[in-house]
Amino acid sequence: MKQPYLIALILFLPFSFILGQDETLHPWTDTQGRTLQASFISLDEAAQTVTIKWNGKVFPLTLNTLAPESQALAKKLGAPPVAASASSSPFDEILDEVVAAMPADTLGPEALDIDHDWTSADGRSLSAKFISLEGDQLTLAMNAGAKEFTVPLNKFSAESQALAKILQSVAQKHRPAPSKPAAPAKPVKVVPPKVVEADLDKTHSWTSSDGRSLQASFVSADDTGVDLKIRGSSSPKSLPWSKLDAQSVALGKALQKLKKSLIPTVHGGGEKALERYGSGKWKGYNTYFESVAFEAGLHQNGQLVHVWLLDDDGNRVSRGSSKSSGDSSGARVVLPPMSITFFPYNNVDDKGQRNWNPLSVTKLGESPPVSNDRKVTSVTGELENGAKFEYNYEFTHAGLAFWGEAKEPSSTKYPGVLDIRFKAPQVLDASKAESIQEINDAAGDGALYVDPIDGKTIKFPFNEKWTDIKNRLSKGGKQGVSYNPIKYAEFRGSPLGDHKIKISSASTRTTSFAWDDGYSQVYPIQGAMLSLKSSDGAEAAKSLKPTDFKKRLEIKKTERLQVKVIRGAG
């Protein structure tokens, strides 16, 4: 629906162009592409100016401000030069004339509180609320005030420039500036609010320094500002303290102080365990990360990461059930969590036969300190076959990433292969389900989707048996039905709420990324496994001579396993 200002412009503009047009009219276009109809008065080639008459007013224009066709027109109509007496341009006067002639009550104060349609000079459009026009700088706000930006006025179309000036006149009428500088406000003493642990997850009302409000929950804070979670956003919004009013600053700092007071005890690290939290929510974890869509923790064993999804409504959801009530915002969602594990193993036994055995960690290196805000954590140590390893974990709001390597002594008896494994959450233990209806209810429309390097995307509904799915695909003429390696895999559907979990390799050229239904798994609802190896690792896993493949124990950062949690996936 068109805004009132458009109707006003349509009604007014024809009259503003008719007034004072006694002489022959010509089109005049400037270098910005704006055109008006005006009569020719004179040309001063020495001064390189042309004088025109528009709306009964005479304006001198510098030739180099006109488009080439208008410069040619001026020379064609050349006449004895007439001294110029005005210095402003009619291209700017058009906008001022429109604003001045608008009826005073065309737009009311409500026009300052709604989004308007704006068009850039090159034809792009956006919807935003007018904030201010200071000089030639136009400030607009989008997404209910969450995003505010300032752009030069000449970056907009002529219609949007007129709209900005109209709205500025409305702002001046209904939000008049004080006639004289106000006396400095006396400092207001703000009493710090009383907060409890539950307030760390609640949605609060925050007020900006200029009086605008925002509904968001607290994520974290430091000396420079606060990070807030806005409903529906996959990343937190960072606000400096200077952008908030005194009461909101007090609330943010009170929550910051409370969160620090709840930091659990810490236990030191050793050869068998990393330094880890000894109490609280993250007991037993060395590093944790809390985003608005998920939580992740690096276990004290140095090889395992757990990931929980967080419901946008803040309610806890048990395995395969609907949302329960009574839990606070930020409660964990699907249990048990997803897991990502570094899994080195050797595949040849003493008799030269295949016998896949995991290589356990015999000793950890120096432990990284516990942390809740470290981006990359590196863990070192030694495996039972003498190999020295380094595993790397990256936690950010965009998702998680994993890469690492191991180096064996040449004399090792059991050469290994390095594997990084992703285990999907077990929504339901189907072996304990009392009926197929219980499985269907828990599975909903959830499914695993895999995108093979060769072939079309395959869907594995959570409530269908792996064997039934494979048989159905085989009858369609697809031999083998392994569909490995793959480009990426996705888990989505009702058990995961409005989240989508996407797992991929950063490079499909030098790695082998594959899916597997796992041992003793009947339904995808029981979880599925994804595995990332280097290309050499994949070949070594199939060979009785793994030492022929030099990079079997290496997954580079450029080949890393990536896990992204995307909210709003449906």
3 state SS of 214: strand
Tell me the two tokens of residue 396: 């950010």
CATH class, domain 4-98, is mainly beta
| pLDDT at residue 534 tops 60 | yes
Q: How far apart, in Å, are the Cα atoms of 54 and each of 57, 209, 372, 542?
A: 5, 45, 67, 85
- C-alpha distances in Å from residue 261, one per residue of 197, 291, 421: 10, 20, 36
Question: 52-91 burial, b if ≥16 CB within 10 A, otherwise e?
Answer: bbbbeebbbbebeebbeebbebbeebeeebeebeeeeebb
- Cα 422 from Cα 315, distance rounded (Å): 26
Tell which residue, 498, 495, 458, 453, has the closest CA to residue 474: 458
Confidence category of residue 470, pLDDT binned at 50, 70, 90: confident
Please provide the average confidence, as pLDDT, over all residues in the chain: 81
Task: Give the pair of three-digit tokens for residue 554.
Answer: 């290496």
**Same fold for the pair 4-98 and 107-174:** yes
First to last CA, the chain: 29
Query: Is pLDDT at 475 greater than 90 in this prediction?
Result: no
Examine the pLDDT at 179 and tell me if it is beyond 80.
no
Single out the residue of 343, 486, 356 nearest to residue 421, CA to CA: 343
The pLDDT assigned to 343 comes to: 95
* Residue 319 predicted with pLDDT over 60: no
Q: What is the tens place of the pLDDT at every residue in 105-134?
A: 557 788 888 888 898 888 888 889 989 888
Residue 108, exposed/middle/buried by CB under 10 A (0-12, 13-18, 19+)?
exposed
pLDDT at 23: 64
pLDDT band, residue 523 (cuts 50/70/90) = confident
**The pLDDT value given to residue 81:** 42
β-pair type (376-383, 388-396): antiparallel
Q: What percent of the chain has pLDDT over 70?
A: 82
CATH topology of domain 197-261: SH3 type barrels. (2.30.30)
Question: 7-63: per-residue pLDDT in tens?
Answer: 344 333 333 333 333 468 889 898 888 888 888 887 877 778 888 888 877 788 888
Check if the beta carbon of residue 389 is closer than 8 Å to that of residue 315: no
Mean pLDDT along residues 528-547: 91
Using alpha carbons, select from 295, 326, 327, 289 the residue that is nearest to residue 310: 295
Distance of alpha carbon 90 from the chain centroid = 44
pLDDT at position 103, please? 52
- Tell me the C-alpha distance between 470 and 301, whole Å: 36
The highest-confidence range among 155-159, 254-258, 329-333, 531-535, by mean pLDDT, is 531-535
CA distance 27 to 90: 13
Does residue 504 register a pLDDT over 90? yes
Q: How would CATH label the architecture of 107-174?
A: Roll (2.30)
The lowest-confidence range among 196-210, 429-443, 555-569 is 429-443
The two structure tokens encoding residue 538: 């994949």
Q: Are 447 and 459 in contact (CB under 8 A)?
A: yes
189 to each of 167, 242, 246, 249, 466, how far by Cα in Å? 36, 17, 9, 12, 66
pLDDT number for residue 481: 53
The pLDDT, as a whole number, for residue 566 is 87
Annotated domain spans of the chain: 4-98, 107-174, 197-261, 266-423, 430-547+557-567
Q: pTM, whole model, 2 decimals?
A: 0.57
